[in-house]
Structure 1
Amino acid sequence: MKATQIAAIMALAIASAITPHLGRAQQAGVHRTDLQRHDLSMPGWEAIQVRVDIDPGVTAPNHRHPGEEIIYVLAGSLEYQLQGKPPVTLKAGDVLFVPAGVIHSAKNVGHDNASELATYVVEKGKPLVELIK
């Protein structure tokens, strides 16, 4: 009985410690759904797929990743701004490649929700998203 209580307290403590970090990963109007994560044959690297839904008029702020991002627009119309390049607007079915470490943002420029499938090829153990102010 005592071991069960200790385990429950530890689980609550861990959940409390993790919850604030998860909350910061989400921004109002930007919804991320983790789909899959797998180790690659290259030691120290992994592939991660995430569905990102962005409400109309909302911008996912400037950020970068510790590896490449391959984007496939599932729905809507998204304007991407990559550091050093002019903005590009993509619609469902379009693709975009974001090199490692390049600062970028995405804005839903349509009247409906927009979605992308983001595939990351990144170094393990590093934060997937680094917000840039």
Structure 2
Amino acid sequence: MVREPRVGRREGGAMPFGGRAIRWSMIVGTLLGGIGIGATGHRLAAAPPSFTEAPLLRTDLAGIDNYELIVSRLETAPGWSHGRHYHAGHEIVYVLEGNGALVADGKPEQRLQAGTISYVPSGQIHAGRNTSRTEALKFLLFRIHVKSQPISIELN
């Protein structure tokens, strides 16, 4: 039986020094690459989904002391959520695009889609989220805000 020599190996099966160095560099490179990918993946997974808010109008309400109207356009990333919170003023949400959900304490979940309008009374504890994994949720947010109070009081 004739045995073909393996590429990169000496007679007797031993790898030359160069082959050993290449093998070790491949092992170390693979490990370091895996650690780098794992760390990056962890960092990306840990980052909360984001949103952008563009203020459109902020004005005093005529004849109503200490109240203002704030109108904003919000765009949320797929999977975004805003945990339980409340406001000292009223909120009205009008959905432009996408799908979401609004959950107010003691009430059934309200599904949101383009054309949906929702009212959250002052002091009502609620949470909202973008239910899509692929599309942004875009909406107009109208706030009747008590000037001396924070816009949102977070609960968790």
1:124 aligns with 2:147: yes
Contact 2:49 2:79 in 1 (8 A): no
TM-score, reference length from structure 2: 0.65
Query: How far is the alpha carbon of 1:88 from its aligned partner?
Result: 1.1
Contact 1:71 1:117 in 2 (8 A): yes
What's the secondary structure of 1:71's corresponding residue? strand
Let me know the Cα RMSD of the aligned residues: 1.3
Contact 2:52 2:74 in 1 (8 A): yes
Query: How far is the alpha carbon of 1:82 from its aligned partner?
Result: 0.7
Distance 1:98 1:116 in 2: 14
Instruction: Select the structure with the greater relative contact order (CA < 8 A; seq sep ≥ 6).
Output: 1
Give, as a single letter, the amino acid of the residue that structure 2 aligns with 1:31. Answer: T
Q: Name the residue aligned to 1:114.
A: 137
1:68 aligns with 2:68: no
Map 1:11-90 onto structure 2 (within 5 A).
28-41=49-62, 42-90=64-112
Query: How far is the alpha carbon of 1:30 from its aligned partner?
Result: 2.3
What's the secondary structure of 2:94's corresponding residue? strand
Aligned residues: 107
Distance 1:78 1:126 in 2: 27
What's the secondary structure of 1:102's corresponding residue? coil
Q: Name the residue aligned to 2:35.
A: none
Distance 1:53 1:90 in 2: 14
Q: Percent of aligned pairs with the same residue?
A: 31
- Which has the greater radius of gyration? 2
Distance 1:53 1:105 in 2: 16
Q: Which structure 1 residue ranges, 4+ long, deviate > 3 Å from structure 2? A: none
Query: How far is the alpha carbon of 1:131 from its aligned partner?
Result: 1.1
Runs of 5+ in structure 1 lacking a partner?
A: 1-26
Query: How far is the alpha carbon of 1:28 from its aligned partner?
Result: 4.0
